[in-house]
Structure 1
Amino acid sequence: MSSDDSADVVVVGTGVVGCQIAEQALDAGLSVLMLEAGPRVERWRVVENFRNLPPSLRIGHWNAPYPPKPWAPHLETRTPHEQEEYLQLEGPNARAYMQGYVRYAGGATWHWAGICWRMTPDDMRLKSLYGVGRDWAFGYDVLEPYYTRAEYALGVCGPSDPAHQWPLGNKRSKPYPMGPIPFGPGEQRFTDVAAKIGLLNIPAPQARNSGVSYHGRPACCGNNNCFPVCPIGAKYDAATSLPRIEAKGGRILTNAVVYRIETGNKNAVQAVHYFDPEKRSHRVTGKLFVIACNGIETPKLLLLSKDANNPNGVANSSDQVGRNMMDQPKLIAEVELDEPLWTGVGPVQSSSILNTTQGEFRSLYAGAMFRMENLARSPIGAAAALKKGLVGKALDAEIRRLSACTAKLTVEHEPLPLPYNRLTLSDKKDWLGINKPNIYYDVSDYVRRSAQEYTVPTLKRLAAGLGATKVVISPEFLNSDHIMGGCIMGTDPSTSVVDVDCRAHNHPNLFLPGGAAMSTGTGSNSTLTMTALALKAADAIVDQLKHS
C-alpha cells in the first residue's frame, strides 16, 4: 500500500455534482482532492472516436466513443475483460433500468442532452397532495435559490416569460442567464400539432449557450451532435469544469476506483480506499468526504463498505441504502409521415410538453413528459433504406424520404420511490474483484396505468396529428438515464439515508448529494435538481468545516 494522500474535502466522482461541490469548497479556501474511477480524455479524442466508429455503432450507442477501461467498465458495454455485463438486472421491467453512464472524468455529462427542468412545488408534495410516493423534507421555496445558482453555474438558456413557464407554477428569483434557442421547423410543426389537442410544447431550458459565449464556452452552432459529445463544447459538461477546478488548486486523481469507505471513532469517516490500474490499494484521508459517484455507484460503494460498526453497510442503519431506485420509464414511437418534417435543426432536444406531468390524476397514475426528438434522421434513414436492399437512385430517393418524413416521439413517466426497487451486491465480480451491482426493477402499476390509460393513446394522437402513415411503439419500457434514489433524503433516520443537506444520518462528515438523495422523480429531467442539491450540500460542507 502506498503512503496516504489527504485533503480537507475528498470528493469521489467527477460528474456535475462532484464538480460543483469541489468548486464551492475551493472558493471557500478548503483543499480538495477528487477521485475518478475512469480515465481523463480530451474532447478531440472523443470526437475522433465517434467519427471512426463502424456504422452499426453510430446510432444509439452513445457510450461507444468512450471505450471503457477494464477497471472501470460501463453499464451496457461488455469489454474483452468481462464475460458478463457489469450491471446485473432482474425484475419485471429490468430493461427499463439498463442505464448509460460512462466512467470517465466528467461522467455522464459528456453525453447528456443538457435539459434542465426544475421540479414543481406539487412534485415535492406527492404524498400530502395525492397520497402516493413521499413528500420532500422541504418545499420548493427552499430549493429555489439553489435552482437559480445551478442555472448560472451550468449556463442554462431558457424562456423567462410567463407564457412559457406554465404549467410549472414555479416562482423564479432571476431570469435564465440566456434566452431560449429558437425552434427548428420540425419542432414548430410538433408544437402546432400538440396545441390542437390541448398540449403545450414549450422551449426546454438547456445547459448550452444560445447565441453568446458563457463561462468560456462558445455559442451553440447546431451541430446536432449533443450526444455522444458536443464537438465544440457549447453544452455544459463536467469535463469543462475540471481545468477550472485545477486552476483553483483542486487536485484530480483519475483511474482511482474507490472500493471502501473506512469509519473510525464515533463512526466518522476516516478514509477511502481505492485501487489503481495495477490493482494496488491506496488510502486517502480527509476531514470531510463526499460520495458523488451517481445513484448506482454511490449505494454500491456504501454496501461494499460494511464493517463492525456498520454491518449493513456505511450510512445504512435504516436499511434504505440501495432502495427506492428510480428512473423515468420511457416509451418511444417511431413514426413515418406523409410529408417532410425535417428534424435536426438545432440541439437534439429543445422542447417538452409538461402540462401532462401535473394534475389530480397523479393519485391514480403517473404524470409524464412528452417530446419529439430533434435528432437529425439522415443516419437512421440511410440505415433503414439499406436494409431494404435498394441500390442506385432508388436507394438515394428512399434515404431522402426517410430522413425527412420520419420522427421519434418520446414519453418519460414519473416514477415512485418504491423500496423493492433495490440495488444489492451481486456475487459476480468485476476485473478488480469488486462485487458488481445488481438491481431489481419494476416500473409499478402506477406507471403501467399511465401508459395504458393516457400516454400511449396520447402518443398515437400526436402521431396522427403529424400525418403518420406508420407508428411503431416500443413493446417495453426503456431507460431514460436519469438515475435517482438509492440514498433517499428525509428527516427520520429510521426511514431515510441523508438529511436535508444530503449529510448521512449515521456519519457526521459524510455527504451523499445528487440524484441518489432525491425523494421523488417527477416526469422531467433530474440533472438541475441534482445540481441544486449539490450546491445546498456545498453550503453545509463549507459551514461545517469553517466552524469545526
Structure 2
Amino acid sequence: MVTTLPQTPDLVVVGAGVAGGLVAKQAAEAGLRVTILCDGPTLDRADLVDRFRQADPQSLMSPYPVVPHAPQPQVNRTGDYLIQKGPDPYDQQYIRAVGGTTWHWGAATWRYIPNDMKLRTLYGVGRDWPIDYDEIEPWYYEAEVELGVAGPENAPFDAPRSKPYPMPEAPFSYLDQVFHDKLTALGYDVIHAPQCRNNQQVYDGRPPCCGNANCMPICPIGAQYSGNMSVEKAQAAGAELITNAVAHHLEVGPDKRITAVRYLKPDGSEFRLKAQTFALAANGIEGPKIMLMSKQEHAPDGVGNSSDMVGRNLMDHPGTMSKFDSKDPLWPGRGPNILSGIVNLRDGPWRERMAARKLMPDNKTHVHEVTVEAIEEGLTGAELREAIRHRAARRQIVFSFNEQLPDPSNRIVPSSEGLTDALGLPRPEIHYRIDDYVHRAAEDTRRRVEEMAVAFGATRDSVWHNDGYLPNNHITGATIMGDNPNDSVVNRDCRTHDHPNLWIASSSTFPSVSSVNVTLTIAALAIRMGEAIAAEARP
C-alpha cells in the first residue's frame, strides 16, 4: 500500500548533499515551501570522529555507519552493491546520509577554466557545454561565498575572476613549499589549491583549521564545509527534511509534468509526495537509476529518457599515483591533506590527443604504509623503528586527475539480472571502459613524475607507479547537458527536456569532467537553479 502524504510543497528536493542543500536553501529563503528527501540518516560529527578513532582498520568510510536500506559502496568492496560489467572497474564510493559525500572529501574547490567548457570547438574532442564560462562565473563566486573558499589570486592556469576569493589561500606546508621551489625550477607552476576550509579566521561560524591532517575521512572540528551545513540553513529557512526516505519512482502525468515522487522507508513502507516542482539532487549513480526505474505509460523508457541518454556518458577522473622517497625529509602530514596543485597540464593544444590533468603532492601521513612495508621486509627492533622514522619523513606521493571524455557506452543501468538491495530495488550495473585518451596522458604523467623525483634526490627507476587507475568519486555525465533534446537529458538551465518541472542538480549534468574537482561547479549550478526555481514560482 502506498500512503499519499497530505503536504504538497512547492518544491521537493531528492537528495541532501551539497547540491540538494543549496537548491533547497535558495528556494526556502525565497519563501517557497520546500521538502527535502534524504535516503540516509542525519550524522553527528562527534560520533563520526569517535567511530574513526576506534575503527580498525581505518579507511575513508570507517567513520560512517552502515545504512542497510541505502547501501554505500566502498572502493575495497564495491561488488557488494555496484555491479561491474565493463572491462575497467568503476569503483566509486559515496555516503548516503544528510550532507552526502562532502563529509569525507578533500574540500578542493577549483573552478573550471573557460576552455574546459569548449572541448569540441577548440580541440575536436568530447562535447561543448551549452553555456560558456562567463555565464557561470558570477555563480562560481556565489558558491565560493556559500562554501567559504580560500584561494590564491592571479595564479597561473586558474580561472578568471570578477571578485576575490572570500578568504586568502591556506599557507603551504613545508612539503608543498619544497615542491613549489623544486618544480618551479623545472618549469612547472605549483599553486595554492583553492579549498573551502577556514584557514586564518572564523567564517560562517566555522572555526579555523587546526591541522589534524585527517580531512579525509572526517574534519573533527567543522572547519571544512560539508553539505549538511547547507541543509541546516535550508531547514532554518523553513524547509522540511525527511530522512531515511529512499526515492525510487517519479510519477509522470499526461502533460509530461512530474506529479509525485514515491519513496520507501527502512521497514519497506511506501509513501507518495506530490509537489509543483521537483529537483533531483541524488548523485550521478543514484539519480539516473531512479530515472531509469521510473518506467510508466507517459515515460516508457524512464523519466527524462526520450533521448536514450539517461545513464550514459559516465565519467570520473581516472587517477594515477606515483611515489618515491626524497633524499631529504619533508615531513608529510602537517596540515590539510592537499594544499597545492601542479597546474601546467590543465590546458594546451595537446588536448586534441590526450587528457588534461591536475597533479597534486600528497600531504597525508604515510606512517602506516611504511610500517607495513618495513615489517614485510622482515625488519624488527631498532632497525624497524629507524626505517619507519626515515621513510615516513621522506615518502612522497603525487596524484593526478585525468580528464575523461564522454562516451555513451559508459553507462549505469538498473541491474539487468534482477539483483536487488535490501529494499528490493535494483542495484546499479556499470558498463565502463577507460580509453587511449586517458592512457596517453597517464603515460606522460608517469614520465614527468620520474623527472620530478630526480630533483628530490631519487632515481627514475626507484619511482613506483600504481597499476590501472584510482577512482576519485567524481561521478559525472549520466544526465548530460545540451541544447539538443535528441542527444542530452537537461538543457542549459539543468531542467529536463522531457519534463518542464523536473530539474537535475548534480555533476551528472556536466558535458565534460575537466581535470579538477567538480564540487564547486555543482554548487554554482545548484545556487543558480535554486534561484531560477524560486523566480519561476513567484506570482
Asked if the contact 1:261/1:272 (under 8 Å) is kept, the reply is yes
138-147 or 335-344: bigger deviation: 335-344
327-336 or 460-469: bigger deviation: 460-469
Residue 460 of structure 1: CA displacement? 1.3
- Aligned residue type for 2:62: A
2:325 matched to which residue of 1? 336
1:429 matched to which residue of 2? 420
Q: Please say if 1:447 is aligned against 2:442.
A: no
Residue 465 of structure 1: CA displacement? 1.9
Q: Please say if 1:39 is aligned against 2:30.
A: no
Instruction: Provide, for residues 476-499 of structure 1, a one-character-per-residue CA deviation record: whole Å limited to 9, x for no partner.
Output: 012111111100001111111001
Residue 543 of structure 1: CA displacement? 1.7
Instruction: Provide, for residues 325-361 of structure 1, a one-character-per-residue CA deviation record: whole Å limited to 9, x for no partner.
Output: 1101101012223321211121101111112110000
1:65 matched to which residue of 2? 63
Q: What TM-score do you get using the length of structure 2 for normalisation?
A: 0.96
Q: Please say if 1:274 is aligned against 2:263.
A: yes
How many residues align structurally? 533
Instruction: Provide, for residues 6-56 of structure 1, a one-character-per-residue CA deviation record: whole Å limited to 9, x for no partner.
Output: 3111011111000110110011100111111111110011101100011xx
1:87 matched to which residue of 2? 82
- Aligned residue type for 1:269: I
CA RMSD of aligned residues (A): 1.5
- Aligned residue type for 1:377: H
1:460 matched to which residue of 2? 450
2:488 matched to which residue of 1? 496
Unaligned runs of 5+ in 2: none
Matching residue within 144, 158, 166 for 2:151 = 158
Unaligned runs of 5+ in 1: none
502-511 or 460-469: bigger deviation: 460-469
Asked if the contact 1:68/1:103 (under 8 Å) is kept, the reply is no
In the alignment, the residues of structure 2 paired with residue 474 and residue 87 of structure 1 have an alpha-carbon distance, to the nearest angstrom, of 23
Residues 509-520 of structure 1 mapped to structure 2, 5 A cutoff: 509-520=501-512
Matching residue within 43, 46, 52 for 1:50 = 52
1:2 matched to which residue of 2? 3
- Aligned residue type for 1:474: N
Asked if the contact 1:77/1:85 (under 8 Å) is kept, the reply is no
Instruction: Provide, for residues 396-430 of structure 1, a one-character-per-residue CA deviation record: whole Å limited to 9, x for no partner.
Output: 21221121010211111111111111111112111
Instruction: Provide, for residues 242-278 of structure 1, a one-character-per-residue CA deviation record: whole Å limited to 9, x for no partner.
Output: 3322221111111111111111130111111111010
Give the secondary-structure state (helix, strand or coil) at the position aligned to 1:44.
helix
In the alignment, the residues of structure 1 paired with residue 254 and residue 453 of structure 2 have an alpha-carbon distance, to the nearest angstrom, of 61
CA shift in 2, pair 1:461/1:90, >3 Å: farther
- Aligned residue type for 1:532: A
1:27 matched to which residue of 2? 29
1:104 matched to which residue of 2? 97
In the alignment, the residues of structure 1 paired with residue 75 and residue 112 of structure 2 have an alpha-carbon distance, to the nearest angstrom, of 32
Residues 219-230 of structure 1 mapped to structure 2, 5 A cutoff: 219-230=208-219
Residues 187-336 of structure 1 mapped to structure 2, 5 A cutoff: 187-336=176-325
Residues 339-488 of structure 1 mapped to structure 2, 5 A cutoff: 339-426=328-415, 427=417, 428-452=419-443, 454-468=444-458, 470-488=462-480
In the alignment, the residues of structure 2 paired with residue 214 and residue 298 of structure 1 have an alpha-carbon distance, to the nearest angstrom, of 32
Residue 77 of structure 1: CA displacement? 7.1
1:536 matched to which residue of 2? 528
Residue 287 of structure 1: CA displacement? 0.8
Residue 68 of structure 1: CA displacement? 1.9
Asked if the contact 1:112/1:227 (under 8 Å) is kept, the reply is yes
Q: What TM-score do you get using the length of structure 1 for normalisation?
A: 0.95
CA shift in 2, pair 1:231/1:272, >3 Å: same
Asked if the contact 2:480/2:510 (under 8 Å) is kept, the reply is yes
Asked if the contact 1:323/1:421 (under 8 Å) is kept, the reply is yes
2:114 matched to which residue of 1? 121
334-343 or 114-123: bigger deviation: 334-343
In the alignment, the residues of structure 2 paired with residue 27 and residue 240 of structure 1 have an alpha-carbon distance, to the nearest angstrom, of 15
Give the secondary-structure state (helix, strand or coil) at the position aligned to 2:80.
coil
Give the secondary-structure state (helix, strand or coil) at the position aligned to 2:263.
strand
Asked if the contact 2:357/2:515 (under 8 Å) is kept, the reply is yes
Residue 78 of structure 1: CA displacement? 9.0
Give the secondary-structure state (helix, strand or coil) at the position aligned to 1:46.
helix
Asked if the contact 2:193/2:340 (under 8 Å) is kept, the reply is yes
Q: Displaced runs of 4+ in structure 1, greater than 4 A? A: none
In the alignment, the residues of structure 2 paired with residue 506 and residue 540 of structure 1 have an alpha-carbon distance, to the nearest angstrom, of 18
Residue 324 of structure 1: CA displacement? 0.6
Residue 436 of structure 1: CA displacement? 0.7
Instruction: Provide, for residues 226-248 of structure 1, a one-character-per-residue CA deviation record: whole Å limited to 9, x for no partner.
Output: 01000000000012233322221
